[in-house]
Amino acid sequence: MSARGRLFGWGILLVPLAVSVALFVGPLAQLFMISLREPSSTELYGTGWTLANYTQLAEDDFIARIVWRTMWTSFLVLGCALAIGYPVAWRIARMPPRKRSLVLLALLFPLMVSNVVRAYGWVAILGRRGVVNTTLQQAGVIDFPMALLFTPEAVVMGLLTILLPYMVISIANALATLDPRYEEAAASLGAGPIRSFIHVVFPLSAPGVASGALLVFLLTLSAYVTITLLGGPRSKLLVSLVYDSVVAFQWPQAAALAFVLLALALATCGLILAVLRPGRVQGGAR
């Protein structure tokens, strides 16, 4: 490339880079700074520096319970997504290429529909006047509507609705590129289907599982609307507390909660990568 061409190349980088710094890196840095400031009743934050926003959270039993519940829910959703998503991806990966693209496309479509619409779908199914309750009442099976909504189960189902497609698409793409000769080799060496799955197929699909798991986990942590509409006030997770602090104008506290959430996300992503080790698979580390 000519010198002029190189200059031009870096020149056009300036605009997106400036926007990225001004509207992504900068505001996050400011948020971190605010999390270390004293609260103020008139301004966004006070003048003094303090760690109290974090230490208060660490000492609060309520917060500890919510953090515990958040992690528990996230791992439950992750486990369900993996347990349901892997067999589906397996099936899709074995389809002929044309049919496979069509099915993956069908799974991509719901991802584009707003989360609030899909959460509302569950409200319409599980709510007091939802399909399940009205149908059962008409049939005379129950006299009063059952409380199906505002339960942890409803939250898990609603989150799976949003997240399963990510898991299935990631794993199916990894499995589809897998050379079937690996399995044949394992079989010819005497490995049964289960052994061959555990020692050959699953490790080779680790990059797809890892990218699916990371997406599922990160999106679970910030799925505020789904959690609120399906979990109600009694199934709050960490992200609900961030929102509540904002509504109460507790800016430094909201900022500290956001960074606790981010730290949990990063730590868990590290854990997922350490367990699945996608880098083992050549060309698989993404």
Site residues for another protein, 156-185, by CB under 8 A, read 157-158, 160-161, 164-165, 168-170, 173
173, 97 contact by CB (below 8 A): no
Token pair 């369900």 in the structure block, residue: 80
Examine residue 142 and tell whether it contacts another protein (CB under 8 A): no
Q: Is 138 in the site for another protein (CB under 8 A)?
A: yes
Q: How far is CA 238 from CA 71, 192, 232, in A?
A: 9, 44, 14
List 68, 101, 267, 280, residue binding another protein (CB under 8 A)? 101
- Selected from 58, 108, 271, 275, the binder of another protein by CB under 8 A is 108
The correct pick among 124, 185, 189, 248 for binding another protein (CB under 8 A) is 124
Q: Which two tokens stand for residue 150?
A: 């505002």
Nearest to 100 by CA among 190, 49, 172: 172
57-65, 68-76, 128-136, 274-282 -> range binding another protein (CB under 8 A): 128-136
Q: Does 107 bind another protein (CB under 8 A)?
A: yes
d(CA 163, CA 160): 5
Binding of residue 34 to another protein (CB under 8 A):
yes
Q: For residue 163, give both structure tokens.
A: 């997240």
Shortest Å distance, C-beta 279 to another protein:
16
By CB under 8 A, name the one of 54, 90, 150, 202 that touches another protein: 90
Binding mask 202-231 for another protein (x = CB under 8 A): ------------xx--x--xx-xx--xx--
Can you name the residues that pair with 37 across neighbouring β-strands?
49
Q: Which stretch binds another protein (CB under 8 A): 53-61, 66-74, 236-244, 271-279?
A: 236-244
Please give the size of the binding site for another protein, defined by CB under 8 A.
93
Give the nearest distance from C-beta 203 to another protein in angstroms: 18
d(CA 52, CA 42): 19
Distance CA 206, CA 84 (A): 16
* Contact flag: residue 258 with another protein (CB under 8 A): yes
Q: At its nearest, how many Å lie between another protein and the CB of residue 42? A: 13
Q: Using CA atoms, how far apart are residues 197 and 206, in angstroms rounded to an integer?
A: 12
CA distance 166 to 211: 9
Residue 80 tokens read as 């369900």
| Closest CB to another protein among residues 52, 219 | 219
* C-beta of residue 216 within 8 angstroms of C-beta of residue 81: yes
Binders of another protein in range 1-30 (CB under 8 A): 1-2, 4-5, 8-10, 12-13, 15-17, 19-20, 23-28, 30
Q: Does residue number 114 form part of the binding site for another protein (CB under 8 A)?
A: yes
Q: Is 198 in the site for another protein (CB under 8 A)?
A: no
Say how far apart CA 90 and CA 19 lie, in whole Å.
Answer: 41
- Applying the rule CB under 8 A, the residues between 39 and 68 that interact with another protein are 44
Residues of span 238-257 touching another protein by CB under 8 A? 239, 242-243, 246, 251, 254-255
Pick from 45, 70, 81: which is nearest to 263 by CA? 70
Which amino acid would we find at residue 58? A
